[in-house]
Amino acid sequence: MTTSATGSQLEPQYHELAAQAVAHSLNTNSVRGLTAAEVRQRLNQYGENELKAKPGKPAWWRFLLQFNQPLLYILLIAGIIKAFLGSWTNAIVIWGVTVINAIIGFVQESKAEGAIAALAQAVTTEATLLRDGQKIRIPSREIVPGDIVMLASGDKVPADLRLVNSRNLQVDESALTGESVPVEKSTAPLQPDAPLAERLNMAYAGSFVTFGQGSGIVVATAGNTEVGRISQTIEQRSNLSTPLTRKFDKFSRTLLYVILGLAALTLAVGLGQGQTFAGMFEAAVALAVSAIPEGLPAVVTVTLAIGVNRMARRHAIIRKLPAVETLGGATVICSDKTGTLTENQMTVQAIYAGGDRFTVSGTGYSPEGEIRELREIRELRELRERLPVALEECLIAGLLCNDSHLEEKNDRWVVVGDPTEGALIAVAKKAGLSQSELVESIPRVDAIGFESQFQYMATLHELGSGESVRVGLETRPYGSGEESKVIYVKGSVEAILSRTRQMLDRNGNSISINRAEVEQQVELMAKQGLRVLAFAKKTVGDNQTSVDHNDIESDLVFIGLQGMIDPPRAEAIAAVRNCQSAGIDVKMITGDHITTAKAIALRMGLQKDGRVEAFEGQQLAQMDDRELAQAVEDGVVFARVAPAQKLRLVEALQAKGEIVAMTGDGVNDAPALKQADIGVAMGGAGTDVAREAADMLLTDDNFASIEAAVEEGRTVYQNLRKAIAFILPVNGGESMTILISALLARDLPILSLQVLWLNMVNSVAMTVPLAFEPKSEGVMRSSPRNPREPLISGKLLQRILAISGFNWILIFGFFEGVRQNTGDVTLARTMAIQALVAARIVYLLSISHLGKAIALKIRGRKVSISGTKAIALGILAAVLLQIVFSQWSVMNNLFATAPLNLNQWLICLLPALPMIPLAILVNWIDRPE
């Protein structure tokens, strides 16, 4: 008996065993079920059939963990030092910043704690069981391995079952396997290596019975089910950091070491020069405070929050703030096919009847669309007159040999029943045929339901003897003499063709069947990824009141073929093209058949080097890490993929340095969603499990919204970069000024409290508006930034150093000049600060959209200044705050500043002039590639 590793134990592969062998191995009776004593014993052994969530950390501990960040270490230490020195106002402000950031992180993280609880709900239901020879209905948590579970249409499968009986049983496993249509089940043993999506003799917990009846032996409950294993996978994986948080951590640690090193150097050199400990300690503290970008965490949070709001307006709901920036840096998007790239509605797109080919427009179950005759490869002819008889017969067969119907709900057509049958009804409606009218005119007498061993469905209908009935678009005679009833049959091509010798021509006359032509048409449809159904009819006598398999063993008349597919969304095709032009690879990872997946990929334009490289789950299972790494690089389609393989594919891409966005809607997608740099779940059709494991939800379940979110994410990163480029040069200039002044034993040109004002109030007032900057032209025409690029790249570092040097010269030079001329240290410090702010305003304009718009207007070019209101308000707020800073007596006492007269104000504006050419220079050096 073959075994496979799952977790730490080896468990049997029940799908390869006969049903009797499974019953024997689980010591159960497939006819009578378990006894009450056996149930009690097994409940003690295996526990209840519920997923137990791993005990989470208490809320107070999770809140404290929010402070476990290097940048917050610096702020906390600075606050402690300021409190130690008696500057409680400064300390409270600094601590307030850290607490606000911790609260935001705590709230965002708490929203992600429901993944395991959602998984538990996925298997909580009631079930019908056979125990002690009696049928009983009990809560699913009381089920134990060895129980016999009865299944019927509409039931949720309560545990993993090895099927014992199956009568037309169809199960929707899309949440687990990604298969877009219900799976026809059987009971025969399968090959040991059969992938999860092809284990036809198994029914898995959390899936739904859509048709038929069956029964099965419970082989796994709770955490041992396939859903349970996914639960364990999610539990074992900690919340991965995003590229933004990783870069911030690295930057913060580096900054921490630099600050501590410079502060220690300042203290040591000063003491070595014979200066007092108290004076040098104050200088070291001032240096530390000046080097810490206190306003940066708040600015980053605001920028990300604004990005969240913008994305929400474009149908993308962000659950974790850093995910905003992460999506903008995505280099690969792995998308499931169903619902995201496609309509998630089966649609007939090709018909062959009477020797003619037809194409069908429109998508989904909506009756909007046309059927056109395909005369030549590039020529379509509208059917202006009545439908050809053979085409009409083919559509009627699809309508009558059908157990489903369509309903209009909330302005949208939905199928009640099988999606394939819904597609047959929809295409008939496009031709003007009414299912209700046909059912009334040609009532059903008897039927044979679809069975996998026969691969067809048949229905017997009353035509009436020699009467005229409404069939399709006109009233015409149908049935005469002894032949007044008709059997319609639909099923696989092989099942129908083996029972036919004749076919209908265009006008409805019987002729000898051209099998070669029919098989050629089947092959053409299959190459397009279409699921092909064949249709046939047989007229019988009026005395026939039932239909069985013997009646359709021979003498069927072939009517035609209908090919259907879940078509790609038009807007998704455009979105894929935009992502590719932006340098983002799009890969399809799906549970569907490889032929269907490749056909969808071709329609979506997912080729790489002009071809679609596709791999199946079985191939991936046999690959080592090196081979898988090559496969994920070359492949664009991965079909019949198991949950563990989805996870492995994401990990392989990340190992190559890619920033991976993964979409999904099923239980099976949850581990990969959690592992990906950003998990994207469907907000509408998705399961609770997928939504709770994801970083982002799509409210319209549309791939086009991912592309829009990528655009917004890139804009957020650009604005973050502007914010960093604006904030850090002030810290650099302040630090250099204090460091050199302390080492030269001179008066400090700027005090620690004044530094705090610049870093917290002035910086935030002028930097927050950068978060509202509009997107730049060509944001989706450039390649993704290098994932390995540090937060402070080479060009950005050059910019920061250049502006920091200018700020140092400005502060130091202005302070020394005013002090020497006036002898007033307080006035010198005040004017140095105001001169610095004036230069900062010019620098802010140079990196903002408003400044560029003003420059272009000066040059006579027409340019929009929309989206620049925030920058203008930020500058106005900064100016007003600086007036208050120096002119209000309360502020003079609090921050040791002096009021300025008009001449002094004008002098403070002078440093803004040399900032103009410097800003132009650094913008040219740091221009986008």
Catalytic residue annotation:
336
Task: Round to whole Å and give the CA distance between 470 and 441.
Answer: 6
Which region holds residue 481: left if phi is over 0, alpha if psi is between -120 and 50, else beta? Answer: left
Helix (H) or strand (E) segment spanning residue 382: strand 379-382
What span, in angstroms and rounded, lies between the C-alpha atoms of 762 and 57?
A: 39
Spatial neighbors of 382 by CB under 8 A, at least 6 apart, are: 370, 372, 373
CA nearest to 912, candidates 828, 835, 851: 835
Q: Give the integer Cα–Cα distance in Å for 371 and 390.
A: 14
Q: For residues 751 and 811, is the Cβ–Cβ distance under 8 A? A: no
**DSSP secondary-structure letter at 928?**
-
SS3 (DSSP) at 8: coil
How far CA 654 is from CA of 13, 606, 632, 650, in Å, comes to 31, 21, 10, 6
Contacts of 806 (CB under 8 A, 6+ apart): 729, 733, 839, 914, 915, 918
39: Cβ–Cβ under 8 A, 6 or more apart, which residues? 131, 142, 144, 147
CA angle at residue 377 from 375 to 379, to 5 degrees? 50
Beta bridge partners of 857: none
Q: Rounded to an integer, what distance in angstroms lies between the CA atom of residue 553 and that of residue 495?
A: 10
Q: What are phi and psi of 12, to 5 degrees?
A: -70, 150
259 vs 261: CA distance, rounded Å: 5
Which residue stretches of 168-210 are H helix?
Answer: 174-177
Residues 604 and 575: their CA atoms lie apart, in Å, by 9
Report phi then psi at 683, rounded to 5. -80, -25
Answer whether 314's CB lies under 8 Å from 526's CB.
no
What's the rounded Cα separation, in Å, for the pair 733 and 839? 12
Alpha helices per DSSP H over 85-188: 88-110, 115-122, 174-177
Contacts of residues 802-805 at CB distance under 8 Å and 24 or more positions apart, as own/partner, are 802/918, 802/921, 802/922, 802/925, 803/729, 803/732, 803/733, 803/843, 803/918, 803/922, 804/728, 804/729, 804/731, 804/732, 804/733, 804/736, 805/732, 805/733, 805/736
Beta-carbon count within 10 A of 506 CB: 14
Query: Which DSSP string corresponds to 424-473?
Result: HHHHHHHTT--HHHHHHHS-EEEEEEEETTTTEEEEEEE--SS-EEEETT
For 844, the token pair is 């802010």
Q: How far is CA 901 from CA 140, 235, 741, 827, 883, in A?
A: 82, 65, 27, 11, 11
E strand or H helix that includes residue 78: helix 70-84
Helix axes 115-122, 226-236, angle to 10 degrees: 170
Q: What's the burial of 825, exposed, middle or buried (CB within 10 Å: 0-12/13-18/19+)?
A: middle
- What burial letters (b/e) apply to 220-250, b meaning 16+ CB within 10 Å? bbbbbbbbbbbbbbbbeeeeeebbbbebbee
* H or E element in which residue 583 lies: none
Cα–Cα distance for residue pair 315/680, rounded to 1 Å = 12
Pairwise CA distance, residues 544 & 547, whole Å: 8
